[in-house]
Amino acid sequence: MRYLPNTPQNQRAMLDAIGARAVEDLLVKIPAKARLSRPLALPPALAETALVRHLRALAAENADADRYTCFLGAGAYDHYVPSPINHLVLRGEFFTAYTPYQPEASQGTLRTIYEYQTLIAELTGMDVANASIYDGASSLAEAALMAHAATGRGEVVLAAGVNPLYRRVVATYCGGPGLRLREAPAPDGVLDLEAIRRLVGARTAAVVVQSPNFYGCLEDVAAVAEIAHAAGAMLVVVADPVNLGVLEAPGRLGADIVVGEGQGLGVPLSYGGPYLGVFAARQELVRRMPGRLVGATVDLDGQRGFVLTLQAREQHIRRAKATSNICTNVALCALMATVYAAILGKRGLVEVGEQCMAKAHYAAGRLTAIPGVSLRFPAPFFKEFTLRLPKSPERVVARLARRRILAGVPLKAWDRRLGDCLLVAVTEQRTREEIDALAAALAEAVA
């Protein structure tokens, strides 16, 4: 077995040193009645060649975004991943390292996290960012819990435009402390500000708004901030950091906490994970933040160095009173995002955002020129938009998939009122030809 170096001779020498006849002698504390008396019923072991054949066969059954033209979004996007990212994260010193608890032997990881915290703070316009949460949805759940702890209030108002999958995760996490979740309606695809004013009050810990929201529409975050703050509540903004080269930083619009899915920053689609939970906040909240934080300090010689800091918030120190139960995070995905941001840089991220925006608007123009197809909501959008179709979106999607086009996400499963709607996302990766091909195929499918 190629992963096990002990030879029978090694094993004999070690057993002799221990004073045992066999490994069995070392297992004496396991009660006989609890021992497994048969081999595990697992499929037979595969040699590497057979394993590769097996997994390639499974992979080939999937409509991946290399072989299919992908217009799917709804929280995960087909942005380009520049080549150096994979080469760098595959360096064993990064990807086989543990959490940097021994800082002298972990300066590489600590520095990349410090860079990551800086770039997330910069993009979101916030003071501090942590070293990551699992994904955008669990980041939002942590933000709701943090707002509850910081304000001592028991209600969270969530805009209807917040990704419905995120809202379900928030509900799971908030069940423990028994927070009340209230939904603020978005009848025209964006928040009804009057309705939210009525919902927000002295019990509100936080108002959560996503922009662009699940339907692709841009929300008036600054107006929501005013309403939240007037009631002494916090504003939590869900944002996609890839968009923040072009769209205003939530921190400048009044956000107290910014969370989001960082997958678009160089992290592969991987059928839903692992992704990158972005979490940033105002300075005053730093001691209530969940997750790891890296800080700068000096060593014995006065040399600059980096350490995990403010650990008294965390489970390994504070146990039941920790700000969160998170231990393992998604450090390697944060490294991908860090390298991505370094590669795209100040101008590249703007260009990616503008190309997404431009191609999405071109696509919306082409698609709504098809008879019977229209934009469902009038609000401005960025890289994603909701279409109303004259035929069943599920059937249209199935039909276009046969032509190797993943046309979008039918919204019926997420919102019954939108049974005739399709959510279409367009990234910088899509070409004009691909968009034209989508338009032609859709025109045929709804004719």
Return the residues of window 21-50 that contact other proteins according to CB under 8 A: 23, 25-31, 33-36, 39-46, 48
- From the list 153-161, 200-208, 294-302, 370-378, the region that binds other proteins by CB under 8 A is 294-302
d(CA 108, CA 96): 12
Selected binder of other proteins within 327, 369, 415, 447 (CB under 8 A): 327
202 interacts with other proteins by CB under 8 A: no
Q: Whole-number minimum distance, CB 19 to other proteins, in Å?
A: 8
d(CA 203, CA 231): 9
Pattern 47-86, other proteins, x by CB under 8 A:
-x--xx-xxxxxxxxxxxxxxx-x-x-xxx-x-x-x-x-x
Q: Whole-number minimum distance, CB 371 to other proteins, in Å?
A: 22
DSSP secondary-structure letter at 311?
G
8 interacts with other proteins by CB under 8 A: no
Torsion 182-185-191-196 (CA) sign: negative
272 interacts with other proteins by CB under 8 A: yes
Which residue shows structure tokens 């790891």?
Answer: 292
CA distances from 423 to 9, 71, 388, 389 (A): 63, 9, 9, 11
Q: Which residues are within 8 A (CB) of 267 and not within 5 positions of it... i.e. 6 or more apart?
A: 81, 274, 275, 276, 333, 336, 337
Torsion 260-264-269-270 (CA) sign: negative
d(CA 227, CA 233): 9
Q: Whole-number minimum distance, CB 67 to other proteins, in Å?
A: 7
Selected binder of other proteins within 194, 300, 416, 417 (CB under 8 A): 300
Selected binder of other proteins within 147, 153, 257, 275 (CB under 8 A): 275
Q: Which of residues 237-256 bind other proteins (CB under 8 A)?
A: 244-249, 252
Question: 395 in helix, strand or coil?
Answer: helix
DSSP secondary-structure letter at 45?
P
Question: 253 in helix, strand or coil?
Answer: helix
- From the list 106-114, 182-190, 197-205, 229-237, the region that binds other proteins by CB under 8 A is 106-114
Selected binder of other proteins within 8, 21, 320, 416 (CB under 8 A): 320
- The answer to whether the beta carbons of residues 63 and 406 sit under 8 Å apart is yes
- The answer to whether the beta carbons of residues 290 and 326 sit under 8 Å apart is yes
Of 61 and 194, nearer to other proteins (C-beta) is 61
Is beta strand 277-281 parallel, antiparallel or unpaired with respect to 257-261?
A: antiparallel
d(CA 261, CA 238): 8
Selected binder of other proteins within 196, 199, 228, 307 (CB under 8 A): 307
- The answer to whether the beta carbons of residues 355 and 368 sit under 8 Å apart is no
Of 109 and 204, nearer to other proteins (C-beta) is 109
**Which residues, in sequence order, are bridge partners of residue 207?**
157, 235
* # of chain residues touching other proteins (CB under 8 A): 210
Q: Which residues are within 8 A (CB) of 261 and not within 5 positions of it... i.e. 6 or more apart?
A: 75, 76, 135, 136, 137, 139, 240, 275, 276, 277, 278
Q: Which of residues 328-357 bind other proteins (CB under 8 A)?
A: 328-333, 335, 338-339, 341-352, 354-355, 357
Q: Whole-number minimum distance, CB 315 to other proteins, in Å?
A: 4
- From the list 188-196, 232-240, 325-333, 370-378, the region that binds other proteins by CB under 8 A is 325-333
Q: Which of residues 386-445 bind other proteins (CB under 8 A)?
A: 397-398, 401, 406, 409, 413, 428, 431-432, 435
- The answer to whether the beta carbons of residues 81 and 268 sit under 8 Å apart is yes
19 interacts with other proteins by CB under 8 A: yes
CA distances from 378 to 70, 87, 211, 336, 390 (A): 24, 43, 15, 36, 18
Q: Whole-number minimum distance, CB 408 to other proteins, in Å?
A: 9
Q: Whole-number minimum distance, CB 95 to other proteins, in Å?
A: 5
- From the list 181-189, 201-209, 265-273, 437-445, the region that binds other proteins by CB under 8 A is 265-273
- From the list 136-144, 148-156, 194-202, 368-376, the region that binds other proteins by CB under 8 A is 136-144
Q: Whole-number minimum distance, CB 185 to other proteins, in Å?
A: 21
Q: Residue 315 CB: number of other CB atoms within 10 A?
A: 16
- From the list 146-154, 188-196, 310-318, 439-447, the region that binds other proteins by CB under 8 A is 310-318
Q: What are phi and psi of 210, to 5 degrees?
A: -115, 135
185 interacts with other proteins by CB under 8 A: no
